[in-house]
Chain A
Amino acid sequence: MPSSAVAGKSPGSALPPRPGKRHGERLGLILPTAMFAYIVRRILSTIPVMAVVALFVFGLLHLSPGDPAAIIAGDTATPADIARIHKALGLDDPLYVQFGSWVWRLLHGDLGISIFTNLPVTTLIAQRVEPTVALTISTVIVSVLVAIPIGVLAAWKAGSWIDRTVMVFAVLGFSVPVFVLAYVLIYLFAVRTDWLPVQGFVGLDRGLWPFLSHLVMPTLALAMVQAALIARMTRASMLDVLAQDYIRTAQAKGLPSGRVLIGHALKNAAVPIATIIGIGIALLISGVVVTETVFAIPGLGRLTVDAILRRDYPIIQGIILIFSAAYVLINLLVDLSYTFLDPRIRY
């Protein structure tokens, strides 16, 4: 978050240069050290967060009322099934031993064994990761490319019909659920016109067009919410910046509007926009699970849904850990990017 980043800067960097010390020395020595310390601190701060995630994922299975093995096995299970799951999950050991060995295996990259398929969860996740990553990246690219220009435009023409139209679309984007939008797209582009394949996923190795054509609809469905989120934040952040004195100065000295908007305003409005892109990843992950179901894309979302239906808890645990780690990592990168986006932020 930008506020915490600014608040967290060391007081030393804001002081005027001390007499007897050259300006360049101060810049060259103190700043990178402070920044390095900040980066290390920020990276270390992800450890307690991931520890809580791990505790939650582990605790869920054991704090829930009843025998977790019986819940996983379902209503039609025989005692032998339950005993097998007991053994597979190591449920007969004391809780702290279970937690210790679970974390130990986790730190060695072992997410356990799937109850249904008997395959390692890491293998199952690795098999499914490509479509999900492709879909996520294409969605972020499309939503950023669409949302930032229209957000800038809305702020520039604040109060006009352009602004109002953009805001209406933003509210609509928040409100139409991703699977409803997905079905509207399927109806328009696959059922009625046959322009795009209805569902499935084709890897990049089978050619660029097959790969892209399968990605178009899921990406559009997912990008709507993201674009709404980013466009609203871009507009809000731009409105703040456009009210600043230096924007008036830039306009007064006769710079063309485009240069003022992009070079002066957008550059200074970038931090909140980057933040919202990072936070929006959580929403995107939720959307991916649904979108993959609608379009029958064999990704992590589809794996999650299959795991729910089979109550394959080790897979659900693994997926929550992977998705949360990805979310934490992306937001770490966003936080670290503030230094480049806004050189005034010093730590």
Chain B
Amino acid sequence: MLKHWFWLALTVAVVFWYSTITVYVAWKGAKDIKNMLARLGGAKDSEAPK
């Protein structure tokens, strides 16, 4: 099993990193979307004819 330790270590690292990053990016990405749409909405309102 340890003969191919590099691939085992890489597989463990991939599963661990990907699980963590999925949760983290899901959380922070939702905030990014909210902020992006708020900025775009604000810009659109300010450009609208009064």
Are A and B physically bound partners? no
| Chain A residues proximal to chain B, CB less than 8 Å | none
